[in-house]
Amino acid sequence: MSKKIIIELKNVWKTYQMGEIQVHALRGLTLKVFKGEFLAIMGPSGSGKSTAMNMIGCLDVPTKGEIFLSGKDISHMSESNLAQIRGRKIGFIFQTFNLLNTLTAKENIKLPMTFQDIQSEDREKKAEQLLEMVELGDRMDHKPTEMSGGQQQRVAIARSLSNSPEVVLADEPTGNLDSKTGERVLDFLKRLHKEKGTTIVMVTHDRKVAEQSDRMEYLKDGIIVKNLKR
């Protein structure tokens, strides 16, 4: 087994100060994400899923412990450097879609490329390609508010891919969708994984959704408790 590790969390702690009390959201989380895999992280609410997701996605730095992205320690990086890494290496898909409502579908997809100083024509071309891929070629100039939840989530998938990231992070991607639309979104993720070999990390509390992946980890009280393999 010589699978390449993309992300590695080593004994990661995250502690929040809530007034007088210290809350440990993560208590020594250790986790590896391998290149090309579809990993699901399961856990009930309050298990530290979101915090783990923020760590994997370089949105936050740990209180203690180390995080390696492609072998590089990012746990002490500055916010601006983290932003650069996020923009280039990670694509986010959120439960609430998190598209900018002032922008059209195409503009939303172009935005991450804008932050990476990609040429305007290239942005235009890539955005159109991605929208075609998620079967929304006819909705390019629609605002998010003019689209259904499923369509918005597909725009978000397209956006997450705009900078050809190494990892796509999906946080409860079907949480706000009915089961039928949710399945369609999951199908897109699976296709992405199969056809393009994209590494996907999905956080969910829904066992059925998690079972679509090829590896599951179970998170409870800020630590991995069980390795669930099929």
Partner 1 sequence: MNSDLIIHSVKSLFTRKTRSFLTVLSILIGIMAIFTLISFGLGLSKYVTEISTEMGVDKLVIQPKSFGGISIPEKQMSQDDVDFIANVKGVRDVTGLMIQSAKIQPDEDTKPKYLFLMGFTTEKEEKEIFLELMTVDLYSGRMLKKGDKLKVILGYNYQLPNKIFEKSIRLGEKILVNDVQVEVVGFFESVGNPQDDSNIYMTYEGVEELLGEEQGYEWIMARVEPGEDPKALSEKVFEKLRKFKDQEKGKEDFFVQTFQEQIEMFTNIMRVLNAVLVMIALVSVFVSGINIMNTMYTSVLERTKDIGIMKAIGAKNSDILIIFVAEAGVLGLIGGIAGILVGYGISSLAGFAVAQAGYSFLKPAFPLVLIIGSLLFATITGAGAGMAPAIQASKQEAAESLRYE
Question: Residues interacting with partner 1, by CB under 8 A?
Answer: 54, 57, 59-60, 79-80, 82-84, 86-88, 92, 94, 98-100, 102-103, 107, 110-112, 114-117, 120, 123, 159, 163
What minimum distance in Å lies between the beta carbon of 112 and partner 1? 4
| Nearer of residues 159 and 193 to partner 1, judged by Cβ | 159
Q: Quote the Cα angle for 34-96-74, to 5°.
A: 40
Nearest approach in angstroms of CB 109 to partner 1 is 10
Question: DSSP secondary structure string, the chain?
Answer: --PPEEEEEEEEEEEEEETTEEEEEEEEEEEEEETT-EEEEE--TTSSHHHHHHHHTTSS--SEEEEEETTEE-TT--HHHHHHHHHHHEEEE-TT----TTS-HHHHHHHHHHTTT--HHHHHHHHHHHHHHTT-GGGTT--GGGS-HHHHHHHHHHHHTTT--SEEEEESTTTTS-HHHHHHHHHHHHHHHHHH--EEEEEES-HHHHTTSSEEEEEETTEEEEEE--
Please state the closest distance from residue 159 (CB atom) to partner 1, in A: 7
In the complex, the smallest distance separating the C-beta of residue 183 from partner 1, rounded to whole angstroms, is 26
Q: What minimum distance in Å lies between the beta carbon of 208 and partner 1?
A: 26
Structure tokens at 69: 């992205």
Phi-psi region of 98 (alpha: psi -120 to 50; beta: other; left: phi over 0): left
Minimum distance from residue 36 beta carbon to partner 1 (Å): 23
Q: Which residue has the tokens 């796509």?
A: 168
Nearer to partner 1 among residue 59 and residue 228 (C-beta): 59
Using the minimum distance from each CB to partner 1, give the nearer residue, 23 or 225. 23
